[in-house]
Amino acid sequence: MQGHNKKWVYLITLSIIWGTSYILIKKGLRGFSPIQLGAIRAVLSTFFLFVVGFKSMKTISKKEWFWVGVSGIIGSFIPMFLFAFAETEIDSSIASILNSLVPLFTLFIGLFAFGVGFNRNQLLGVVIGLIGAAFLIFFGTTVNPDQNYWYAGFVIVATICYACNANIIKSKLQNVSPMGIAVGNFAVILIPGTIVLLFSGFLDREVVAGPHFLTSLGYIAALCIISTCVAKIMFNRLIQISTAVFSVSVTYLIPIVGIFWGLVDGEKFTLWQFIAALVILFGVYMVNKKKTPQRASLNKS
């Protein structure tokens, strides 16, 4: 399969996987607290990745381990807890919608921190996508006026973390295998994840005896295997075969999948939200429409 076609296959597959992750988080929170859910994800995901790719860490040089560690903390560990806290107050579909902010932050973090150029189509596509996401959020607030949207701030911080991580992988870890990055990320977060889990009350009697303990643990296990481990490897590869901005364009498609699962779970969805989703898709097209790059510089005379 040609690289151009392969990156689109990765993009669509990741959108389905990660679009489903928000409903899995919602189900997992029925039996666990946000702290417990985040810590369980960190520990279980590390275990699964070690089973399939422990040897891949040999591809990481001593110099690259620093950036692998930063990538793990910023791109995986912190967002795991942020999304869990957010979904205690806002719908899973709204969380998936807010995740559409990632490409905007990726574009500007890439420019200001890493000197990555962009073109007008990319900028226009991001803006159009964000407009569509803004409409989705607006219509969501009218449908669910009782939700505490201050908790949406947790998602916004998580999107900034994802944007930083995309640029780190593209700029600093291009020579490390996708599996190596994923396993290295979680090798770094295993210790803090285990410490948090041990002090979270995960094995307290009232938690273990709760009516949702086993089912919630099952949802979190599925979240770890598919949405964290498999998707993490695929995303790292997608960044390497495309660009940081293209790779995070997956966040434009995630809301559509997230809204679908929210609708199945009884969350409300309107025709106007569907129209806004089409605007987002047009933004994806604009981001990836070929045009002569315009290199950006911070040191213009």
| In a domain? residue 135 | no
| In a domain? residue 127 | no
Q: Tell me the C-alpha distance between 228 and 41, whole Å.
A: 8
* Range picked from 100-104, 124-128, 161-165, 276-280 for highest mean pLDDT: 161-165
**So what's the pLDDT on residue 291?**
54
Domain limits for position 197: 3-103+148-267
| In a domain? residue 290 | no
Mean pLDDT on 48-70: 89
Cα 181 to Cα 33, 55, 102, 149, 288: the distances in Å are: 29, 12, 20, 34, 25
| In a domain? residue 132 | no
| In a domain? residue 191 | yes
CB 268 within 8 A of CB 100: no
Counting the structural domains of the chain, the total is 1
| In a domain? residue 238 | yes
Name the nearest CA neighbour of 247 among 124, 133, 102, 71.
102
Helix axes 102-114, 120-143, angle to 10 degrees: 140
| In a domain? residue 224 | yes
Tokens of 40: 């369980």
pLDDT in tens, 181-221: 989 999 999 999 999 999 988 878 788 878 888 999 999 99
Helix axes 120-143, 250-264, angle to 10 degrees: 20
Q: Does the pLDDT at position 290 exceed 70?
A: no
pTM above 0.85, yes or no: no
Give 181 or 97, the one with higher predicted confidence.
181
* Percent over 70 (pLDDT), the chain: 90
For residue 118, give the 3-state DSSP assignment. strand
Q: Tell me the C-alpha distance between 67 and 105, whole Å.
A: 19
Give 232 or 263, the one with higher predicted confidence.
263
- The mean predicted confidence, pLDDT, of the chain is 83
Lowest mean pLDDT among 17-31, 109-123, 129-143: 109-123
Confidence of residue 40 (pLDDT cuts 50, 70, 90): very high
Q: Does the pLDDT at position 153 exceed 90?
A: no
| In a domain? residue 128 | no
CB 252 within 8 A of CB 70: no
**So what's the pLDDT on residue 274?**
79
